[in-house]
Amino acid sequence: MPTPTLPAPELQFIDSHAAVEPDVATQLRAYRLMRTADELARLYEENKAVTAKYVHATARGHEAIQLAAAFHLSAADYAAPYYRDDAMLLGLGITPYELMLQLMAKRDDPFSGGRTYYCHPSLRRAGFPVIPHQSSATGMQAIPATGMAHGLKYLESQGIVNSELGILNSELETPVSENLIQNSEFKIQNSVVVCSIGDGAMTEGEVSEALQMAVLHQLPIIYLVQDNEWGISATGREMRAMDAYEFAAGFKGLQRLRVNGADFADSYAGLAAAFEYVRRTRGPILVHARCPLLGHHTSGVRREWYRGDDLAAHTTLDPLPRLHQQLLDLGVSEEELQQLGQEARALVEADYQRALAAPNPDPATFADHEFAPPAVTEEAGERSPAGADKALLVDAALHAVDDILREFPEALFYGQDVGGELGGVFREAALLAKKYGDARVFNTPIQEAYIVGSTAGMSAVGAKPIVEIQFADYIWPALNQLVEELSKSCYLSNGQFPVQALIRVPIGAYGGGGPYHSGSIESTLLTIRGIKVVYPSNAADMKGLMRAAFLDPNPVVMLEHKGLYWSKVPGTEDAKTVEPAAGYVIPLGQAAIAQSADAEKLRQGETCAVITYGMGVHWAKTASKQFPGQVEILDLRTLNPLDFEAVQGAVRRHGKALVLTEEPLMNSFAESLAGRIQRTCFQQLDAPVFTLGAANLPAIALNVELEKQMLPSAEKVAAALAELLGY
């Protein structure tokens, strides 16, 4: 393989004064840290029986560009490093000891408490850029990082973030603290987000979604692309038709810059220009840095398995001897450089021994931080204010969001077609864009991954996003972000970065919507740990649960049945209720008895419980009219966290239970719940737990008669109740 070319910086887009050359002191600092990164890689290789117990990657070959980026980041900035960026972390001030604590999954790992891989940082620490949790950074990180920049720009536009300090005004005792502004540490203006990524990961579709939004909204972000011409064992020629710099040309409004990522001075000057550009213009830039890959891809994929002669070519571009010679040319003595190397080795060796002796996590803490503690623990406010009119469920949802936007300036609402004139295909956001402006309520491209994944970045900077997926059937492109970036963040950051996100999803079959507008997805969502799932059945619950979901510090998916929006479906009249007052809130995870059974019939053992949610509540109400006083209906309202105590109470009261869902029944949440009931309530059961759901077919047919055949109905529920009560 030919030696990779390393082009000189291209800085034509910016005034020449921005290309700041590093002084000798800065280059010496970089040299010391390069030697430290080199010693880390050497020690890990020499002790691989210990250090490779858990997989890791090192920065060897990438140190120059990583350190240059670290030296330009301020405490007001945000960073999204990738798994090879240990030199960047050293440049920010993370110690080898701290990195090794994560390498060995130790208790005091500052990023995750031993829960995630080496060089997967999560950090909130005074004097450091904020580094939110992210996944293994093979392209997915571009969306949350862009969401950070998006959130910052929004908060700045509203005066919520002080651009002098890069922090929320609400976090300061006064909006502007003179002593902080005079402190040189805070003289950097206008926070910047740095998203570090490998060139191979640039081929991910989610990266394109991120770049699209960065240019559409002109967001303050630097995409730092480290290109070593490898993606595990695949070469650049195999993976891409163009490199990241060439690819970025297709995004009008995205500035581009090439730097020699193997040369510290070139990297430093180029990134000085990039940071200056973003701080000044608040627009995005992509920096493409060609680097050699001198180490293994990871400890689990060793270079000797696939590199061949290519490794020798890359070694000629090693940034460490290059910087060594440049410092000698500047008059630094060989003795001084050797001393720095010896100090780096001594530090790394000593930190390694300390890390070996550090305690492991307490196994008893394994389940901590699945969720951050809820903000709402009790029902509050007026559910049925005197003189209030009844409201449709869709209007209660609209009014709930309106109340939130009015009360919380850090809140914003976006998704496909929710902004502008339309206000949502169901008019569930009608006039909100006109009322609150396009910066707060806006349309996105058809980019479900961005809509969901950006909320992780928004949350990290202090914005509070409400987003919408237009139909439940369209959520699948967002699952990667929902699972990897949102659901794991609180747990893997050891509680540092819960993601506050409210994701609205219209769901369910209604009047011939057909195969792509009628699906039910709750069972899929409920296999994802770390998210909450809410499913209201009436307007009052919609309003109270919407507010609780917004206030919850965790990701919440709000499933809203389209057939209940307007109460036009026969039997759904009860979905229309008196509208609660503004501020009304219901705790997540609290079921409600939607219909009680007659006490005398209960005493005589002639009753049963229907456990359901959403449209199932209304099918059960209609069906139960054939069995007066014999049917209690438990409306779950929240599917995760599940109010299993209420479920058990209902089953034990009646001894007979039907679990009802709109989903295809086989392997569903409903079947899982029925199994749990039979295990915990077996001794109180007078009949098997019945289940009823849709036919086990891959989609909802378009023809309304076929749709009726596939779905549950009041008639089908009545037949099941007759069999259950007569058992």
Q: Provide the terminal-to-terminal Cα distance of the chain, rounded to the nearest Å.
A: 76
Instruction: Please give the average per-residue pLDDT across 545-551, as a whole number.
Output: 98
Q: Where does residue 679 rank: exposed (0-12), middle (13-18), buried (19+ CB within 10 A)? A: exposed
Report residue 501 as tokens.
Answer: 């996100």
- Which ranges in the chain are annotated with CATH 3.40.50.970? 24-160+189-358, 390-578
Say yes or no to pLDDT of 8 above 60.
Answer: no
DSSP three-state, residue 258:
strand
Say yes or no to pLDDT of 7 above 80.
Answer: no
> Which pLDDT value is given to residue 430?
72
Report residue 156 as tokens.
Answer: 């700045």
> Which pLDDT value is given to residue 365?
97
3-state helix, strand, coil in the chain (%, to 5): 45, 15, 45
From the list 297, 399, 517, 561, the catalytic residue is 517
Q: Which of 494, 501, 492, 496 is nearest to 531 (CA)?
A: 501
The full DSSP string for 156-204 is HHTT-EETTTTEEGGGSSSSS-HHHHHSGGG---S--EEEEEEGGGGGS
Which residue type occupies 657?
Answer: A
Q: Which of 121, 111, 105 is nearest to 53 (CA)?
A: 105
Report residue 316 as tokens.
Answer: 């000629």
Strand partners, 168: 161
Report residue 287 as tokens.
Answer: 């920096």
Q: How far apart are CA 713 and CA 509, in angstroms?
A: 12
Pairwise pLDDT comparison (534 vs 203), residue with the higher score: 534
Give pLDDT tens digits for 166-180.
Answer: 555 544 443 333 332
Cis geometry, peptide bond prior to residue 361 (ω within 30 degrees of 0):
no
> Which pLDDT value is given to residue 297?
83
Say yes or no to pLDDT of 594 above 70.
Answer: yes
Give pLDDT tens digits for 100-126.
Answer: 999 999 999 999 999 999 999 999 999
Say yes or no to pLDDT of 235 above 80.
Answer: no
User: How many other C-beta atoms lie within 10 A of the C-beta of residue 156?
Assistant: 17
Q: How far apart are CA 345 and CA 342, in angstroms?
A: 5
- The 3-class SS string of 567-607 reads CCCCCCHHHCEECCCCCCECCCCCCEEEECCCHHHHHCCCC
Residues 340, 344, 349, 351: is their CA dihedral positive or negative? positive
List alpha helices for 363-517, DSSP H: 393-407, 432-436, 448-461, 479-481, 489-492
Report residue 279 as tokens.
Answer: 């701080």
Say yes or no to pLDDT of 645 above 90.
Answer: yes
DSSP state of 15: -
Report residue 674's pLDDT band, with 50, 70 and 90 as the boundaries. very high
Strand partners, 415: 443, 468
List alpha helices for 47-190, DSSP H: 48-51, 63-72, 86-92, 96-103, 142-157, 178-182
Q: How far apart are CA 358 and CA 375, in angstroms?
A: 35
Q: Which of 334, 291, 331 is nearest to 314 (CA)?
A: 291
Clarify whether 517 is annotated catalytic: yes
Instruction: Tell me which of 3.40.190.10, 3.40.50.970, 3.40.50.150, 3.30.499.10 is the CATH number of domain 24-160+189-358.
Output: 3.40.50.970
> Which pLDDT value is given to residue 418?
86
Q: Which of 313, 318, 288, 323 is nearest to 4 (CA)?
A: 313
Q: Are 565 and 393 in contact (CB under 8 A)?
A: yes
> Which pLDDT value is given to residue 180?
29
The yes/no answer on whether domain 390-578 falls in CATH 3.40.50.150 is no
Say yes or no to pLDDT of 183 above 60.
Answer: no
- Which ranges in the chain are annotated with CATH 3.40.50.920? 593-726
Give pLDDT tens digits for 680-720.
Answer: 999 999 999 999 999 999 999 999 999 999 999 999 999 99
Say yes or no to pLDDT of 208 above 90.
Answer: yes
Instruction: Please give the average per-residue pLDDT across 474-483, as a whole number.
Output: 95
Residues 275, 8, 87, 287: is their CA dihedral positive or negative? positive
**The domain 593-726: what is its CATH number?**
3.40.50.920
Q: Are 554 and 579 in contact (CB under 8 A)?
A: no
Report residue 188's pLDDT band, with 50, 70 and 90 as the boundaries. very low
Say yes or no to pLDDT of 419 above 90.
Answer: no
Report residue 547's pLDDT band, with 50, 70 and 90 as the boundaries. very high
Average pLDDT, the chain: 91
Give pLDDT tens digits for 66-101.
Answer: 999 999 999 999 999 999 999 999 999 999 999 999
Give pLDDT tens digits for 363-374.
Answer: 999 999 999 999
Give pLDDT tens digits for 498-510.
Answer: 999 999 999 999 8
Say yes or no to pLDDT of 4 above 90.
Answer: no
